[in-house]
């Protein structure tokens, strides 16, 4: 798999983290639910805020890790190519 495709995958994962952040922002408690459902709704929103935060964090971590791996491949390949140019053929 070409390094640029791996980088694109990493950037896509980081972009999905922003989507998870957007989801969290949309899960707002406007206090419209009253009565016996008030507490379950608040707990539901709290759990989903936590989930969205965790998902966003994991996607950011995974995306930056994938990009870092692609960069490491390019450096490694560059080092191999450079050393093969310096060594005379037997």
Per residue in 23-54, pLDDT (tens digit) is 988 988 777 888 999 899 989 999 999 999 99
Distances (CA, A) of 2 to 16, 63, 74: 22, 16, 10
List Cβ neighbours of 66 (8 Å cut-off, separation of 6 or more): 6, 7, 9, 10, 13
> Which range is least confidently modeled, 22-26, 28-32, 61-65, 71-75?
28-32
Domains of the chain: 3-86 (1.10.287)
pTM of the predicted model, to two decimals?
0.75
Half-sphere exposure of residue 32: CA atoms within 13 angstroms, side-chain side: 4
Helix ranges (DSSP H) in the chain:
3-26, 38-86
Per residue in 7-18, pLDDT (tens digit) is 999 999 999 999
């Amino acid at each position: 798999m070409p390094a640029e495709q791996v980088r694109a995958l990493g950037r896509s994962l980081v972009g999905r983290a922003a989507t998870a952040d957007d989801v969290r922002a949309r899960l707002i408690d406007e206090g419209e639910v009253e009565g016996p459902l008030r507490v379950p709704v608040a707990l539901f929103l709290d759990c989903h805020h936590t989930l969205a935060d965790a998902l966003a964090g994991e996607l950011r971590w995974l995306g930056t890790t994938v990009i870092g791996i692609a960069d490491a491949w390019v450096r490694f390949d560059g080092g191999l190519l450079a050393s093969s140019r310096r060594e005379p053929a037997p």
